[in-house]
Amino acid sequence: MRYAQLITGPAGSGKSTYCSALVQHGINTKREINVVNLDPAAEHFNYEPLVDVRNLIHVQDTMEDEDLQFGPNGGLLFCMDYLVKNSDWLQEQLGSQEDDYILFDCPGQIELYTHLTTFRKLIALLQSWNFNLCCVYLLDVQFMTDGAKFVSGTMSALSVMVNLELPHVNLLTKMDLISKSTRKQLDRFLEPDSHALLSDIELNHSWFNDKYRRLTDVIGQLVEDHSLVRFLPLNLNDEENVSDVLLTIDNILQFGEDQDVKVKDYDEVDEEN
Ligand SMILES: Nc1nc2c(ncn2[C@@H]2O[C@H](COP(=O)(O)OP(=O)(O)OP(=O)(O)O)[C@@H](O)[C@H]2O)c(=O)[nH]1
């Protein structure tokens, strides 16, 4: 079996930074973690990729091509389709090493995860190449600190979970950037508690009419009653937190069962944070 995290999330949510941090964590703990860059528009990252999709196709190619003349967004979607159609290239680049552990650093266009089929096709290919996959969805915590934004972020995570149908972990990134009081407020949402969300929305959004208030309440209840969407805080400055998050994902991937790696379960890490 091979193991991989699909690192997804909106533009700027911290995907490449997370990948670099995990590679460094791997070096510190004498564990090999490789990264594959799947973003054909990537300009800069701080890791040495095992495979780089830009060697197959670059978004610039699609924008400069006389026939295609795409804009940046359409070009990126075209590149991802091109990758799926030329999957032999990716398969060859990935090799076939047993027990390898790969982070796929994906583009920031969330339509790829929320409703287009390209990623589902890519997932099916990776699975057919013996990869056990976990989708890791990153959201910048700064966009989750008031009730209305938290509901919106929760819905985007839910769309990805429903569309990709993979074992899934949501991470709140850039935890080092929020104050203690904001963290306290966030903790009330993470519970999750629909009434905390609702009272925050009523307090901060006087324009919220009855209909929206009821809708928010119902969504909050739904998420709470079915434990649908959970978020783990990720602070890259805290090595113990990084280690716990990685172990949680390892557990979901069932990585470690044959490799003698200690794993923690989701609830354990959630409580510790
Ligand atoms: N303070 C802080 N900044 C972070 C953290 N993670 C990412 N950043 C910053 O956020 C910005 C975006 O991070 P990236 O890792 O490039 O985000 P991305 O999701 O890969 O972005 P796209 O490739 O555009 O989709 C960069 O300036 C990072 O330095 C974090 O944990 N803490």
ω before 49 within 30° of 0 (cis)?
A: no
The pairing of strands 2-8 and 101-105 is parallel
Residue 239 neighbours by CB under 8 Å, 6+ apart: 25, 28
Decide whether any atom of ligand 1 lies within 6 Å of the 216 Cβ: no
Instruction: Please tell me the distance between residue 15's alpha carbon and the centre of ligand 1 in angstroms.
Output: 7
Cα separation, 198 vs 117, in Å, equals 34
Query: Which residue's CA is the nearest one to ligand 1's atom 5?
Result: 174
Closest Cα to atom 14 of ligand 1? 14
How much is the pLDDT for 263?
A: 46
173 within ligand 1 shell (Cβ under 6 A): yes
Pocket test for ligand 1, best of 7, 13, 17 (most atoms within 8 A of CB): 17
Q: Which pLDDT value is given to residue 215?
A: 79
- Is-contact 242 22, C-beta < 8 A? yes
Question: Is the CB–ligand 1 distance for residue 168 below 6 Å?
Answer: no
d(CA 154, CA 152): 5
Query: What is the CATH architecture assignment of 2-179+230-253?
Result: 3-Layer(aba) Sandwich (3.40)
Residue-wise burial string across 238-259, b where 16 or more C-beta atoms lie within 10 A, e elsewhere:
eeebbbbbbbbbbbbbebeeee
Q: Which atom of ligand 1 is nearest to the CA of 17?
A: 15
What is the rounded CA–CA span in Å between residue 100 and residue 118? Answer: 24
- Distance, CA of 144 to chain centre: 15
| DSSP secondary structure of 173-224 | E-GGGS-HHHHHHHHHHHS--HHHHHHHHHHH-TT--HHHHHHHHHHHHHHH
**CA atoms of 9 and 135, how far apart (whole Å):** 10
Its sign, for the CA torsion 184, 189, 193, 199, is: positive
Nearest to 87 by CA among 131, 23, 137: 131
For the chain, give every domain's residue range: 2-179+230-253
The pLDDT of residue 66: 80
pLDDT in tens, the chain (273 residues): 999 999 999 999 999 999 999 999 999 999 999 999 999 999 989 999 999 999 999 999 999 888 888 888 899 999 999 999 999 999 999 998 888 999 999 999 999 999 889 999 999 999 999 999 999 999 999 999 887 788 889 889 999 999 999 999 999 999 999 999 999 888 888 875 666 776 776 666 666 677 877 777 787 777 767 667 889 999 999 999 999 999 999 999 988 666 554 444 545 555 555
Looking from the CA of residue 42, the nearest atom of ligand 1 is 23
Q: What is the pLDDT of residue 147?
A: 79
- For the CA of 236, the nearest atom of ligand 1: 31
ipTM: 0.99
Query: Of 40, 2, 44, whose CA–CA distance to 19 is shortest?
Result: 44
pLDDT of res. 75 = 93
What pLDDT is recorded for position 185? 85
Instruction: Measure the CA–CA gap between 19 and 48, rounded to whole angstroms.
Output: 10
